[in-house]
Amino acid sequence: MKLILNKLRKSFEKKDVLCGASFTFETGKIYGLLGRNGAGKTTLFNCINEDLPVDGGSFEVEDEGARRPARAEDIGYVLSTPVVPEFLTGREFLKFFLDINRDRIKNEKSIDEYFDIVSIAPADRDRLIKDYSHGMKNKMQMLVNFIAEPGILLLDEPLTSFDVVVADEMKKLLRNMKEDHIIIFSTHIMELALDLCDEIVILNDGVLQEIDKANLDNSAFKDKIIAVLRGGDNV
């Protein structure tokens, strides 16, 4: 599968956020989407997820050689501020999610097994999600996206609220998932992007560009990325 972005444009009043962003994302890779604060990473994700209409350009999916518009079930979006059903318990959320999506779920596990994946303690599983910490809500949001296994997974700075152990477990999960999925991981933490991601894509001045690591070591690669973000280097 490929996700093909073609000259995406998006403006807010007089500010041009996306200025013809084009890129092709492919299955089997974790893409690190790097950009400065306000570069438009979240806007890009919102456009792909159709939470915001684009002002110009298009995006589509290429699946088994045929191009088509992206469907809702193709895309999973893990937001930086988790959006979860506050008035359900964790268990109820998973139960309903599994009941509703059973036809699409491969290798279904038990609810408690799913909780174990994201290390939610047994005592918390029957608590109202409203009473969960930010990190726990984030885990639930991540978990349902893992369960649904959409072809394209957009992650908007998802690991920042996780503790070190869970963040490491999430990274392992993402690495296991990447083979059959397109994973686009937005962050402004370069070390995380370099650690986890196979490709680095910069969003700068409203356009996307891949930064080729070539034969650079990590330190030189970092310098190259920073130079691009500063606008002092054209790749």
Partner 1 sequence: MFKTFALSFRLRNTYKINGIIWALKGIPLIRKILPSSLYASRGLKIFANILSGIEEVFMAFLGKLIYLLIVMAAALSMPAAPGSCFAHILIFTTVIGGLLNTQIFEPGRDKFYAVFLMRMDARRYVLTEYLYFMLKMLIGLTIFSLIFGSRAGAAVMTCLAVPVFVICVKLCFTAYTLKSCLKTDSAYNENKPKPPVWILTAVLLALAAVPYAGYVLPEAALPVLAAIMLIPAVFSGRYISGFSSYRRIYKELLHVQDFTAGKSITGTTGAAQQLLLCGFFPRQIPMSTRS
| Chain contacts with partner 1 (rule: CB under 8 A) | 50-51, 53, 72-73, 83-89, 91-93, 96-97, 99-101, 126-128, 130, 144, 148
- DSSP of the chain: -EEEEEEEEEEETTEEEEEEEEEEEETTEEEEEE--TTSSHHHHHHHHTTSS--SEEEEEEEETTEEEPPPGGGEEEE-SS----TTSBHHHHHHHHHHHHGGG-SS---HHHHHHHTT--GGGTTSBGGGS-HHHHHHHHHHHHHHH--SEEEEES-STTS-HHHHHHHHHHHHHHGGGSEEEEEES-HHHHHHH-SEEEEEETTEEEEE--TT--HHHHHHHHHHHHHT----
Complex with partner 1: residue 92 or 205, whichever CB lies closer: 92
Residue 79 CB, nearest distance to partner 1 (Å)?
8
Q: Measured in Å, how far apart are the chain's first and last C-alpha atoms?
A: 26
Complex with partner 1: residue 51 or 191, whichever CB lies closer: 51
Residue 149 CB, nearest distance to partner 1 (Å)?
11
Rounded Cα distance, 219 and 104, in Å: 43
Complex with partner 1: residue 53 or 232, whichever CB lies closer: 53
Residue 83 CB, nearest distance to partner 1 (Å)?
5
Residue 72 CB, nearest distance to partner 1 (Å)?
6
Complex with partner 1: residue 12 or 96, whichever CB lies closer: 96
Sign of CA dihedral 71, 74, 79, 82: positive
Residue 111 CB, nearest distance to partner 1 (Å)?
12
Complex with partner 1: residue 23 or 97, whichever CB lies closer: 97
Complex with partner 1: residue 18 or 147, whichever CB lies closer: 147
Residue 190 CB, nearest distance to partner 1 (Å)?
29
